[in-house]
Chains A and B, each alone.
Chain A
């Protein structure tokens, strides 16, 4: 079988909306966790 590649296929559907949705799905909770952590980490410099 000849190797296939990720080069754009005109017939293939664009899935930009799906990419945005799934990255937000994991990114938003992660950003929340990161925000809480940064708040706590700043105590090292403020106390």
Chain B
């Protein structure tokens, strides 16, 4: 029976974003980057904390609320909005992200101008947070479809952008506050300019993004005819993916890798100071700030370099490196880090590059395991591991550091237990990674009549029926 044709649905609809003949796939990463470089601003929220605390009389905990709510909303909107993003297409998702993220800043501007902090929490945290989650997953499945031969590189470029967003926003926001003033009026103006500037910057992504036509392939590339052990040609829906052990093993892998990375990130500046406080070469405050900046640089570089490397050596091997070598680097810091600054710095840089790589390799690994069918939606659900680690990591590190200080320890001794805990978490992640096997065929989608492996009962022209499965429309 033929289903009724769905109307085209305007400029934002998926059907209006199908690339014309000859469209270069290298135009798609800038579209993704314009969104990720913008929403990555979230990690530069700390710039606004001291002025907000002073202008509105807030505590440090209160001024962190907009950021914390934004991260929670990121996880929730990515997890629950993923299927909608797959169905509506990347242009719709980027437009929603733009609207939420920019209007979040505008609401915050109103909140700062009227000195109503709850408006800033609602604007930046709730509304803006939805923009973060939808924006984060918006280009993932599109990039994977354009770069089936280099999925790791493509997702690495986009997710590197999220890390790069804070690099741009941090000095930019600081200079803006210097110019406008750090009182409530100045903060309101800064929020207003942020909202307008990010709306313009993200508009490029909305206008530029294209999905490949059905059956499109890169020139000279043919899909592998032989099934590789860990690269499936079958497709799995987001709903079915949640029922597979592979999804949950990868969830544990990501959660452990992120938690371990946060272990360094959270305490980087005081840690390097304490490690070398009693040596002949103590680390100054500005050198510690330089160390933190270097960590950010390798976190970002790792997202691109390691994810691209995974295209060559395979995702499973790449995660073996992140988790196995990462655990060894933690061991190196715990045992010899206090006696050698180069060993300490290089090990920390390695760990942070693996932390970044873990994020950007995940979508490509999901594509290998579950196919391209609903990979964006599956990725959205996987990001709950990030939200969990975001709570778990700082909790472990701060609590252990406080208890060690209370026990009278100092120098490297303050962090030894934390380092061994992080190493243990990476070992747990390594074991979970080893448990990942190809997905059982009972979870695969049935191939569409006359369709290809890349386009089963696909979402390209499909609609979701009440039981969650997809049916191709005539």
A interface with B by C-beta (< 8 Å): 1-9, 11-13, 15, 18-19, 22-23, 25-26, 29-30, 32-34, 36-38, 40-47
- Whether the Cβ atoms of B290 and A43 lie closer than 8 Å is yes
- Whether the Cβ atoms of B293 and A29 lie closer than 8 Å is no
Stretch among B30-38, B55-63, B84-92, B245-253 lining the A interface: B30-38
B interface with A by C-beta (< 8 Å): 20-27, 30-31, 33-34, 37, 161, 164, 166-172, 201, 204, 208, 213-221, 283-284, 286-291, 293-294, 296-297, 345, 452
- Whether the Cβ atoms of B218 and A26 lie closer than 8 Å is no
Inside 8 A of A12's CB, which chain B residues have their CB? 20-23
Extra 4 A-B pairs, beta carbons < 8 Å, given A3-B215, A41-B297, A42-B290: A6-B217, A15-B23, A41-B290, A43-B287
Name the contact of B168 in the complex, choosing from A11, A19, A25, A32 (C-beta under 8 A).
Answer: A32
Closest A residue to B204 by beta carbon equals A25
- Whether the Cβ atoms of B37 and A26 lie closer than 8 Å is yes
Inside 8 A of B452's CB, which chain A residues have their CB? 3
Of listed A22, A23, A42, A46, residue having the most chain B CB within 10 A: A22
Inside 8 A of B291's CB, which chain A residues have their CB? 44
Inside 8 A of B23's CB, which chain A residues have their CB? 12, 15
Closest B residue to A12 by beta carbon equals B22
Inside 8 A of B287's CB, which chain A residues have their CB? 43-47
- Whether the Cβ atoms of B167 and A33 lie closer than 8 Å is yes
Closest Cβ of chain B to A13, distance in Å, is: 7
Interface of A is mostly: helix
Closest B residue to A44 by beta carbon equals B290
- Whether the Cβ atoms of B294 and A9 lie closer than 8 Å is no
Interface of B is mostly: helix
- Whether the Cβ atoms of B20 and A30 lie closer than 8 Å is no
- Whether the Cβ atoms of A15 and B30 lie closer than 8 Å is no
Closest B residue to A38 by beta carbon equals B297
Closest Cβ of chain A to B23, distance in Å, is: 8
Name the contact of B164 in the complex, choosing from A19, A22, A30 (C-beta under 8 A).
Answer: A30
Closest A residue to B452 by beta carbon equals A3
Inside 8 A of A38's CB, which chain B residues have their CB? 293, 297
- Whether the Cβ atoms of B218 and A5 lie closer than 8 Å is yes
- Whether the Cβ atoms of B216 and A4 lie closer than 8 Å is yes
Closest Cβ of chain B to A35, distance in Å, is: 9
Inside 8 A of B168's CB, which chain A residues have their CB? 29-30, 32-33
- Whether the Cβ atoms of A30 and B37 lie closer than 8 Å is yes
Closest Cβ of chain A to B34, distance in Å, is: 6
- Whether the Cβ atoms of B217 and A3 lie closer than 8 Å is yes
Inside 8 A of A22's CB, which chain B residues have their CB? 27, 30-31, 204, 208
Closest Cβ of chain A to B452, distance in Å, is: 8
Residues A40 and B293 in contact in the complex (CB < 8 Å), given A22-B27, A33-B164: yes
Name the contact of B294 in the complex, choosing from A25, A44, A46 (C-beta under 8 A).
Answer: A44
Inside 8 A of A44's CB, which chain B residues have their CB? 287-288, 290-291, 293-294, 345
- Whether the Cβ atoms of B215 and A47 lie closer than 8 Å is no
- Whether the Cβ atoms of B20 and A3 lie closer than 8 Å is no
Inside 8 A of B171's CB, which chain A residues have their CB? 32-33, 36
